[in-house]
Amino acid sequence: MNTLIQSLLAERDKNVNWHPYTQMKTAGDAIPIVRGKGVYLFDDEGKKYIDAVSSWWVTLHGHAHPYIAERVYQQLTTLEQVIFAGFTHEPAVQLSENLLNLLPKNQKKVFYSDNGSTAVEAALKMCIQYAYNSGKEKTKILAFKNAYHGDTFGAMSVSGRSVWTKPFGSMLFEVVFIDTPNAENLESLKIQISEIAEETACFIYEPLVQGAAGMLMYEAEHLDELMKFCRSKEILMIQDEVFTGFGRTGKLFAANHLAEIPDIMCFSKGLTGGTMPMGITTCSQEIFNAFLSDDKYKTLFHGHSFTANPLACTAALASMELLLQEETLAAIDRISRQHSDFTDILEQHPNVENVRQTGTILAFELKTDQHTSYFNEVGKVLYDEFLQRGIIMRPLGNVMYLVPPYCITAEELDFTYRNILEVLDTFKNQVHFPIHAAGQE
């Protein structure tokens, strides 16, 4: 292909498309991607890119996976969609059975929606209405500072306040934000929670890794302590595994690192292997039971047009089959080990700080004069540099991270590491970047 076609597509795109999280005035042309295969994406000039961020953390087994494609095609020619109120279908039943089998034993019911944000919305409604249906006055919600649970209004309300949420500040419902737990602050967190426990309906958290905040990590044992305390105070727990689910943390779910169990869990992103949009909210029998009544007002009045879409369910079934194969689990282990070895190297690097890793998620910060924030200018420079080198990384400010699809080979991962080290060396003598973007506060 030639550049004329590229510029044409980029131009047409500019005429009609409004891209997510993009300042359209200053953004460069979008890169037209014409196909994907495994860990690679190909642009219209035939240049290939390693998708080191799994296309916004969703792709598990690589792009255009033939097995998932075949299964979805078969389903598409059998049943593509059916209203899920009053009707059901094999893919939805099978997927619910298979998923519940992998989750903590108290998870008994599956509620379908379209994406991570809607999975969170449904979870929040379950908790608030659980209290309502039980005749209790509990409307406070507890969440972590820097949390990210999505972009719809409810999900935004339980996310940390930032420049992203600023224009909507007055419209967001009140949430009590606490620090993520560590050995030092656990007791003071418990005191904070105690003070509002009676009015608190639920606690929502990203387990072990706060993704959008910049891959901030905290220990499972400290979360366990906090969960145990919430349980003792009858505060429902929503474990948002939209990002951490399906192998990301080195185990199938972040739940597999924890001794305590949540009441509700949220899934999306890797759920369909990154092929189709779908969200799932699971809950315990106790929560489900609180909505059973002859009183119609106790119904969970929530639903989306594409609830339990058969194609998305089928993609999720196929992706989960692939995920549970021995070679995929071995690949997750291998990526985790490679990351861990690379962590040792990064820690020696003079330009790098705060190296951290949980399973297949690796993150570190480039030392700069600027505060760590989403708007740190370094990110854009790095982004362009890695694109040049045929690697898609999307730094969150000066936080660089890798979240590769599990199909990435040892060699492809080493290639990525090598390029990171080269780029870091390029920047070794020029860590002073101009400060002109707005800060996080």
Ligand X SMILES: *Cc1c(COP(=O)(O)O)cnc(C)c1O
Tell the smallest beta-carbon distance from residue 153 to ligand X (Å): 12
What are the residues facing 282 on neighbouring strands? 110, 265
- 8 A C-beta contact, residue 157 and residue 172: yes
Query: Angle CA(176)–CA(181)–CA(183) in degrees, nearest 5?
Result: 145
What are φ and ψ of residue 131, in 5° steps? -65, -45
Scanning the structure block, which residue is given the tokens 């860990």? Answer: 39
Q: Which of 34, 42, 40, 65 is nearest to 54 (CA)?
A: 40
Q: Closer CB to ligand X, residue 227 or residue 290?
A: 227
Q: Residue 425 burial (CB < 10 Å; 0-12/13-18/19+)?
A: exposed
| 240 assigned to a ligand binding site | yes
Q: Is 333 a catalytic residue?
A: no
Q: Closer CB to ligand X, residue 130 or residue 243?
A: 243
| 46 assigned to a ligand binding site | no
What are the residues facing 217 on neighbouring strands? 209
Q: State whether residue 288 is helix, strand or coil.
A: helix
| 116 assigned to a ligand binding site | yes
Binding site for ligand X (CB under 6 A): 115-117, 120, 148-150, 206, 211-212, 240, 242-243, 268
Q: Is 21 a catalytic residue?
A: yes
Tell the smallest beta-carbon distance from residue 54 to ligand X (Å): 12
Q: State whether residue 28 is helix, strand or coil.
A: coil
Tell the smallest beta-carbon distance from residue 139 to ligand X (Å): 22
| 18 assigned to a ligand binding site | no
Q: Closer CB to ligand X, residue 104 or residue 211?
A: 211
| 86 assigned to a ligand binding site | no
How many CB atoms lie under 10 A from the CB of residue 410?
12
Residue among 148, 205, 218, 417 flagged as catalytic = 148
Q: What letter would DSSP give residue 351?
A: T
Q: Which amino acid is at 323?
A: L
| 417 assigned to a ligand binding site | no
Q: Closer CB to ligand X, residue 59 or residue 370?
A: 59
Q: Is 44 a catalytic residue?
A: no
Tell the smallest beta-carbon distance from residue 277 to ligand X (Å): 7
Residue among 138, 190, 251, 269 flagged as catalytic = 269
| 394 assigned to a ligand binding site | yes
Tell the smallest beta-carbon distance from residue 206 to ligand X (Å): 5
Q: Closer CB to ligand X, residue 44 or residue 206?
A: 206
Q: What letter would DSSP give residue 396?
A: B
Query: Looking at beta carbons, which residue is closest to ligand X?
Result: 116
Q: Is 269 a catalytic residue?
A: yes
Q: Closer CB to ligand X, residue 203 or residue 342?
A: 203
| 304 assigned to a ligand binding site | yes
Query: Angle CA(251)–CA(255)–CA(257) in degrees, nearest 5?
Result: 60
- Spatial neighbors of 239 by CB under 8 A, at least 6 apart, are 205, 207, 254, 255, 262, 264, 265, 266
Residue among 140, 240, 263, 406 flagged as catalytic = 240
Tell the smallest beta-carbon distance from residue 151 to ligand X (Å): 6
Tell the smallest beta-carbon distance from residue 407 to ligand X (Å): 21
The span from the CA of 232 to the CA of 70, in Å, is: 48
Q: Closer CB to ligand X, residue 132 or residue 306?
A: 306
Exposed e or buried b for every residue in 14-48, given b needs 16+ CB within 10 A? eeeeeeeeeeeeeeeeebbeeebebbbbbbbeeee
Q: What letter would DSSP give residue 413?
A: H
Specify binding-site residues for substrate: 56, 148, 269, 303, 394
Which positions are annotated as active-site residues? 21, 148, 240, 269
Specify binding-site residues for pyridoxal 5'-phosphate: 116-117, 240, 304-305
Specify binding-site residues: 56, 116-117, 148, 240, 269, 303-305, 394
